[in-house]
Amino acid sequence: MIPAQRKPRNLAQGVVEQISSSIRQGLLKPGEKLPTESSMMSLHGVSRTVVREAISHLQASGLVATRHGIGTFVLERQQAGLGIDAESILTLRDVLAILELRIGVETETAGLAAARRSDEQVADLGAALGEMHAAMAEGRSAVEADKRFHLLIAQATGNRYFVDILGQLGNAIIPRARLNTVELEQDKPANFNERVSREHDDIYRAIERRDPEAARAAMRTHLSNSRERLVQAQRRLESQVN
């Protein structure tokens, strides 16, 4: 039963808040049918128009769905996201902000992966690393292999939330998937690839030998170096504008 409360200034919003609260508290469960319009009119002391407006708001929020001729039902609550829209990460400043987030998150994933990884997971990491090296040597994009390398590290932690975070970020976890980092850094592709490869090798070897502190340090170094290179690029761009 939805508890009736003192009417707020905005009647429809008041009904929305009360029903939403009942859903959050589990008083109204997924699949459960809401009371009829007449019942809600009586319960909340509002008109049919107000009830229908409130239901419309709840539908737009994805909390309920109306089946014509049957009634309105509570929907399964969607898993909360992180509030990060990967497709909106477009600018250099955006990528720098994501790198700061990754430094905090992935430094720990590397340490946990080194402590918890299985032999099979190390083999998968090695395969992704080998594919990354081959793509770079052949002048192909290494973004997918690079992304898989980082996701495999998250999986090796055994903590699905690390995987969820990196999975939600998608290609945003690899700066060169969003920006031409070689051009921004004003470096030769061979030099850029050599540095990135060496940093990934250090992460892999630390995880392979089960050294959590070395893995954390290698991951922090890799991501901090990426951030610092892009900070320098940003400064050059800003100086050109000014």
- Tens-digit pLDDT profile for residues 139-157: 888 888 998 999 999 999 9
Could you give phi then psi for residue 71, rounded to 5 degrees?
150, -175
| 3-state SS class at 73 | strand
3-class secondary-structure state, position 33: strand
Evaluate if residue 123 carries a pLDDT over 90. yes
Q: Strand locations in the chain, DSSP E?
A: 64-67, 71-74
Instruction: Residue count of the chain, please give it.
Output: 242
Q: Note the pLDDT tens digit of each residue in 64-91.
A: 888 888 899 998 865 555 666 655 565 6
Q: Are 174 and 89 in contact (CB under 8 A)?
A: no
What is the b/e burial string over 45-77, where b = at least 16 CB atoms within 10 angstroms of the residue's CB? Answer: ebeeebbebbbebbeeeebbeeeeeeebebeee
Domains annotated on the chain, with CATH: 11-74 (1.10.10.10), 86-241 (1.20.120.530)
Q: How far, in Å, CA of 196 to CA of 91, rounded?
A: 21
pLDDT in tens, 34-71: 999 999 999 999 999 999 988 988 887 778 888 888 89
Is this prediction's pTM over 0.85? no
CA atoms within 13 A on the CB side of 32: 13
